[in-house]
Chain A
């Protein structure tokens, strides 16, 4: 592995400062959005003299990505872009990010590093099972795993039955998936009587959302595997920003490529080391789509002491609740604003009553959307109501890439129901 991950923290700070300064210089030079923010704050990037000075710059929010759709936040000419990713955003407009050839190379290295820390090697057969909402990660993981030299079964949406067939027959040894999908798989194996020894599965890499300790040990017991967690961003710029090492004690952040901060979600102040708050990320090497102080909405805290695995990259503990109102469904972040905007677009208006919940039943996770029936929507024809359900459901599934169930309810029943 690269010596950077074992670098003396003092030395790394110099590295980070140099990379931060040039990132800010490039953003200031090439992206109007960042330029305006610096000008509004009345300072020049040259005034960032220490990593701690970063807090003088305002945050980048998810909504900024939608507002500058599609290419407004790119820092290089389109000619230099070799890949364009689309992910669901906070409005009808998706979040679009671009990658230069170097950016993709950096991602491959980041993901390979994370996989190697989880013991993945060229002798492994690695399968990627993610929801369509995380399709971008599917591609990223494929490339990272190929860099390690593993034999990759790329991301393809498969039924559980087919998934298990591939797992068993192809002798998959590493599975990259979300905790929700892994739970579903374990339950399916139980139900169909497939014993884990019939599979060659050894490692499970869990991505998309923090895994609850209970679920984690259940998965390890039922599937006879060792599990690793990875932290990433589903919109931009990608997976494996943080990864677990063999100690499984928090996630090492790739600090040579990202500068992490933990801030108070309410006031935005940087919190003292060890306190729980919102994870904020700044990219240090990204060329096409630099993020400066991006509010992730993920709740985390720094683990103050150094990990005894020898990797000196700082660790975070990634906690379950979010600091924003996004719902995490099978690892895919779903924005309430986007759900409302999609319902509105599908129906031509936003119904008076419209609520949505994250549902879990028998290890199945989905987004449930309730639409309150009113005079406009009401029809005595079942077919018409089914059409409404289908229209809204299809639009949502297409936009979010997660399973959706739409129910038409009477307005007064809304008050009694609680979210999952």
Chain B
């Protein structure tokens, strides 16, 4: 569905992504893990039309995304749940959700949008209960649900999430990830960028490990979970535990 080849992104003269290639098949949940500054968010920004310049190739369903601005990318079927949620606090929850369907509403798909609002409400009942409440009054976890719900309102073919677990309590993280796993089971294709590698790999089909702008490892999520290097670098195991006496 998504195929990236040799993606190179620059901030001024600094190359933040040094030739990244990856692919996501229809219905797959793929995770991209890596530490801060490894280039994960840069990659998402490039996919979503938020980077001015990049080299390489990004094909979505065979169409190059070169030169697409964010609304055009959304129209193609890619929805981003940005890092830090970026909801609109002064608006109601319902208005936040409807904004996710903005491009569809302009095309007059009101009935379908109403239906999706119902689906999203079923997925996250708390959003229905507080539909008229201001989004700024929600807890962190609820705001994340709202951000995901808003992205789903665009009826994406590919849902892209940037660090959805950031700053959330473990129980809330589990709830969010479970929702993603359910969406994947229903057939949605998902690209999940996470620092919380353990959690992400538990629900993903495959994963890519990014390090200073390069992919250094990829494979089935179960293999990565069992990988000594991944454990050391991303799953909170102390390097000394592994290297002592060698």
Contact: A14 with B5, CB < 8 Å? Answer: yes
B-side contacts of A77, CB under 8 Å: 242-243, 246
Report the bound CA distance from A29 to B210 in whole Å: 13
The yes or no answer to A79 lying at the interface (CB within 8 A) is yes
Size category of the binding interface on chain A:
20 to 34
Contact: A76 with B228, CB < 8 Å? Answer: yes
The yes or no answer to B66 lying at the interface (CB within 8 A) is no
Contact: A18 with B246, CB < 8 Å? Answer: no
The yes or no answer to A101 lying at the interface (CB within 8 A) is yes
The yes or no answer to B104 lying at the interface (CB within 8 A) is no
Contact: A25 with B228, CB < 8 Å? Answer: no
A-side contacts of B23, CB under 8 Å: 14-15, 18
The yes or no answer to B177 lying at the interface (CB within 8 A) is no
Chain A nearest Cβ from B188, distance in angstroms: 21
B-side contacts of A26, CB under 8 Å: 216-217
Chain B nearest Cβ from A271, distance in angstroms: 26
Report the bound CA distance from A79 to B228 in whole Å: 9
The yes or no answer to A21 lying at the interface (CB within 8 A) is yes
Contact: B223 with A102, CB < 8 Å? Answer: yes
The 10 lowest CB-CB distance pairs between A and B, nearest first, are A46-B19, A46-B18, A49-B6, A25-B214, A80-B228, A79-B242, A22-B215, A18-B21, A25-B216, A78-B246
Contact: A101 with B228, CB < 8 Å? Answer: yes
Of residues 21 through 80 on chain B, the ones whose CB sits less than 8 Å from some CB of chain A are 21-23, 56
A-side contacts of B22, CB under 8 Å: 18
Q: Which chain A residue has the least Cβ–Cβ distance from B212?
A: A29
The one of B214, B242, B243, B246 in contact with A46, judged by C-beta atoms closer than 8 angstroms, is: B214
Chain A nearest Cβ from B89, distance in angstroms: 40
The yes or no answer to A100 lying at the interface (CB within 8 A) is yes
A-B contact pairs, 12 of them (CB 8 A): A18-B23, A22-B215, A22-B216, A25-B211, A25-B215, A29-B216, A45-B19, A46-B15, A76-B229, A77-B246, A100-B228, A285-B219
Number of chain B residues whose Cβ lies closer than 8 Å to a Cβ of chain A:
27
Which residues of chain A have a CB within 8 Å of any CB of chain B?
14-15, 17-19, 21-22, 25-26, 29, 44-49, 76-80, 100-102, 105, 285, 287
Chain B nearest Cβ from A181, distance in angstroms: 36
The yes or no answer to B226 lying at the interface (CB within 8 A) is yes
Q: Which chain A residue has the least Cβ–Cβ distance from B231?
A: A80
Given pairs A25-B216, A49-B5, 20 additional interface contacts (CB within 8 A): A14-B23, A18-B22, A18-B215, A21-B214, A22-B217, A29-B216, A44-B18, A45-B18, A45-B214, A46-B8, A46-B15, A49-B19, A49-B56, A78-B246, A79-B242, A80-B228, A100-B228, A101-B226, A102-B223, A102-B227
Report the bound CA distance from A270 to B182 in whole Å: 48
The yes or no answer to B218 lying at the interface (CB within 8 A) is yes
Report the bound CA distance from A320 to B15 in whole Å: 48
Chain A nearest Cβ from B147, distance in angstroms: 30
Chain B nearest Cβ from A100, distance in angstroms: 7
B-side contacts of A25, CB under 8 Å: 211, 214-216
Q: Which chain B residue has the least Cβ–Cβ distance from A17?
A: B21
Q: Which chain B residue has the least Cβ–Cβ distance from A105?
A: B223
Report the bound CA distance from A287 to B219 in whole Å: 12
The yes or no answer to B3 lying at the interface (CB within 8 A) is yes
Contact with A along B7-21 (1 / 0, CB 8 A): 010000001001111
Report the bound CA distance from A285 to B217 in whole Å: 9
Contact: A79 with B246, CB < 8 Å? Answer: yes
Report the bound CA distance from A46 to B229 in whole Å: 22
B-side contacts of A80, CB under 8 Å: 228-229, 242
B-side contacts of A19, CB under 8 Å: 218
Contact: A21 with B21, CB < 8 Å? Answer: yes
A-side contacts of B246, CB under 8 Å: 77-79
Q: Which chain A residue has the least Cβ–Cβ distance from B217?
A: A22
B-side contacts of A15, CB under 8 Å: 23
Of residues 85 through 124 on chain B, the ones whose CB sits less than 8 Å from some CB of chain A are none
Among A18, A29, A77, residue most surrounded by chain B Cβ atoms (within 10 Å): A18
Report the bound CA distance from A46 to B8 in whole Å: 9
Q: Which chain B residue has the least Cβ–Cβ distance from A80?
A: B228
A-side contacts of B15, CB under 8 Å: 46
Q: Given A26-B216, A46-B8, A79-B243, does the pair A14, B21 have CB atoms closer than 8 Å?
A: yes
Contact: B3 with A14, CB < 8 Å? Answer: yes
Q: Which chain A residue has the least Cβ–Cβ distance from B209?
A: A22
Among B8, B15, B246, residue most surrounded by chain A Cβ atoms (within 10 Å): B246
B-side contacts of A79, CB under 8 Å: 228, 242-243, 246
Among A44, A45, A49, A285, residue most surrounded by chain B Cβ atoms (within 10 Å): A49
Chain A nearest Cβ from B84, distance in angstroms: 29
B-side contacts of A22, CB under 8 Å: 214-218
Contact: B218 with A18, CB < 8 Å? Answer: yes
A-side contacts of B3, CB under 8 Å: 14
A-side contacts of B19, CB under 8 Å: 21, 45-49
B-side contacts of A14, CB under 8 Å: 3, 5, 21, 23
Chain B nearest Cβ from A57, distance in angstroms: 15
